């Protein structure tokens, strides 16, 4: 079964720039076929792709849409039998419906849709939604991952507004907001194939907490050096929840996850983490972890357990992520604290 990634987006959104990046250092070692469809004109970007040693199949008879589903299924089967690729990348016309392309691929017995991506120009989102509502909304609502391009060209409030508009159309999609030049092709592919939301990070922290609780109960409260739940210094929080039988962490603790494009400084992050120790209006916070953009251009990674925190520079993520676990966690107060 050949895996298929579909990259939709209006003309000029940055689809081809993205695909170039993924060819350079994302699809490492894979045999690729690119299927382009440029709505009645020769694909202007085929030269670069051919120079990269990638097989190109152009479909210039119009959009991959309902009227062409049968032809496209035949063409896709022929591409697979002729080239036996590891993966096919489809770049449909900017005015095509992503849902039609997905439906066409799903009708091919030898292909499997792995990633559905909509590349959206953050600076033109509102005007395109107004003028091309049917096509534009379809691309957004049919995508598993939405990559916001040109996020560096708009102010924070406009970026927040764009994200809210997208979530109003597709609340389940992963939204990549980090400028693509800050990410590697491999990071982008990993994000498309295995999206991790802030809520996923929070669940991982809960699993760590569950492990540490188990250690508390079954090993005389001794902990390995790798235990990061904060129980070394704050056993009193755990004692509240230790009966004669083991409770799973998700039965005892609250978890909260946020995605954010807000930019921070190391000092502002440290101030936020210190507030957990100073004021229980946020809840009894036992763990916090995050990766957020820095005002100075890099990225900040942080970890927190009661009385101890680590704030450091680190690699970029596809968007800012913050997760917090504890008891009586006040999500609204946390959102205000992190300025989300």
For 212-245, write each residue's pLDDT tens digit: 554 444 444 444 444 444 444 444 444 444 444 4
pLDDT of residue 69: 53
pLDDT average, residue stretch 316-334: 94
pLDDT of residue 214: 44
Is 183 in the same domain as 208? no
Sign of CA dihedral 280, 286, 292, 295: positive
Is 83 in the same domain as 141? yes
What is the C-alpha separation between 132 and 55, in angstroms, rounded?
32
Is 72 in the same domain as 154? yes
Is 159 in the same domain as 18? yes
Q: Using 50, 70 and 90 to split pLDDT, how confident is the model at 280? A: confident
The tens digit of pLDDT for each residue in 77-94 reads: 888 998 898 999 988 876
Residue 123 sits in which domain range? 2-193
Q: Name, of 10-14, 38-42, 172-176, 216-220, the range with top average pLDDT.
A: 172-176
What is the 3-state secondary structure of the chain? CEEEEEEECCCCCCHHHHHHHHHHHCCCCCCEEEEECCCCCCCCCHHHHHHCCCEEEECCCCCCCHHHHHHHHHHHHHHHHHHCCCEEEEECCCCCCHHHHHHHHHCCCCEEEEEEEEEEECCCHHHHHHHCHHHHHHHHHCCCEEEEECHHHCCHHHHHHHHHHHHHHCCCCEEECCCHHHCCHHHHHHHHHCCCCHHHHHHHHHHHHHHHHHHHHHCCCCCCCCCCCCCCCCHHHHHCCCCCCCCCHHHHCEEEEEEECCEECHHHHHHHHHHHHHCHHHCEEEEEEEEEEECCCCEEEEEEECCEEEEEEECCCCCEEEEEEEECCCHHHHHHHCCC
Q: How many domains does the chain have?
A: 2
Is 45 in the same domain as 82? yes
Compute the half-sphere exposure of residue 192: CA atoms within 13 Å on the CB side of its CA: 27
pLDDT > 90? residue 192 = yes
Q: Which pTM does this prediction carry?
A: 0.78
Is 331 in the same domain as 303? yes
Domain C-terminal end among 160, 193, 226: 193
The tens digit of pLDDT for each residue in 113-147 reads: 999 999 999 999 999 999 899 989 999 999 999 99
Is 189 in the same domain as 232? no
For a pLDDT cut of 70, what percent of the chain falls above it? 76
Is 281 in the same domain as 177? no
Q: Using 50, 70 and 90 to split pLDDT, how confident is the model at 51? A: low
Is 30 in the same domain as 68? yes
pLDDT average, residue stretch 64-68: 43
What is the C-alpha separation between 287 and 33, in angstroms, rounded?
45
What is the C-alpha separation between 91 and 204, in angstroms, rounded?
35
pLDDT of residue 218: 46
pLDDT > 50? residue 21 = yes
pLDDT average, residue stretch 8-28: 87
pLDDT of residue 100: 86
Averaged pLDDT score across all residues of the chain: 81
Is 214 in the same domain as 80? no
pLDDT of residue 180: 92
CATH number at residue 333: 3.30.1220.10
Domain C-terminal end among 156, 176, 193: 193
pLDDT of residue 10: 85
What is the C-alpha separation between 134 and 163, in angstroms, rounded?
19
pLDDT of residue 216: 47
Is 90 in the same domain as 134? yes
CATH number at residue 75: 3.40.50.300
Domain C-terminal end among 174, 193, 212: 193
DSSP state of 151: G
pLDDT of residue 139: 94
Q: Using 50, 70 and 90 to split pLDDT, how confident is the model at 39? A: very low
Is 299 in the same domain as 246? yes
């Amino acid at each position: 079964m050949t895996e298929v990634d579909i990259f939709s987006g209006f003309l000029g959104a940055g689809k081809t720039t993205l695909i170039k990046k993924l060819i350079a250092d994302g699809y490492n070692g894979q045999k690729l076929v690119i299927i382009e469809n440029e709505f009645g004109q020769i694909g202007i970007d085929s030269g670069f792709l051919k120079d990269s040693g990638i097989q190109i199949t152009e479909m210039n008879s119009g959009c991959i849409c309902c009227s062409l589903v049968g032809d496209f299924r035949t063409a896709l089967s022929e591409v697979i039998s002729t080239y036996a690729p590891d993966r096919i990348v489809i770049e449909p016309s900017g005015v095509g419906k992503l849902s039609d392309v997905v439906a066409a691929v799903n009708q091919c017995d030898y292909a499997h849709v792995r990633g559905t991506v909509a590349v959206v120009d953050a600076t033109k989102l509102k005007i395109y939604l107004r003028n091309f509502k049917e096509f534009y909304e379809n691309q957004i609502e049919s995508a598993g991952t939405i990559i916001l391009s040109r996020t560096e060209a708009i102010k924070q409030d406009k970026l927040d507004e764009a994200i809210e508009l997208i979530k109003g159309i597709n609340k389940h999609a992963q939204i990549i907001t980090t400028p693509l030049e800050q990410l590697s092709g491999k990071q982008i592919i990993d994000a498309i194939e295995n999206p991790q939301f802030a809520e996923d990070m929070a669940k991982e922290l809960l699993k760590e907490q569950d492990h540490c609780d188990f250690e508390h109960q079954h090993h005389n409260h001794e902990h390995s050096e790798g235990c990061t739940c904060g129980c070394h210094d704050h056993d009193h929080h755990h004692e509240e929840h230790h009966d004669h039988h083991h409770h799973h962490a998700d039965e005892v603790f609250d978890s909260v996850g946020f995605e954010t494009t807000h930019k921070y400084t190391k000092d502002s992050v440290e101030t936020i983490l210190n507030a957990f120790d100073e004021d229980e209006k946020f809840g009894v916070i036992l763990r916090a972890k995050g990766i957020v953009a820095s005002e100075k251009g890099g990225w900040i990674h942080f970890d927190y357990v009661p009385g101890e925190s680590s704030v450091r520079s680190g690699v970029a993520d596809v968007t800012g992520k913050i997760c917090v676990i504890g008891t009586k966690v006040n999500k609204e107060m946390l959102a205000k604290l992190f300025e989300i």
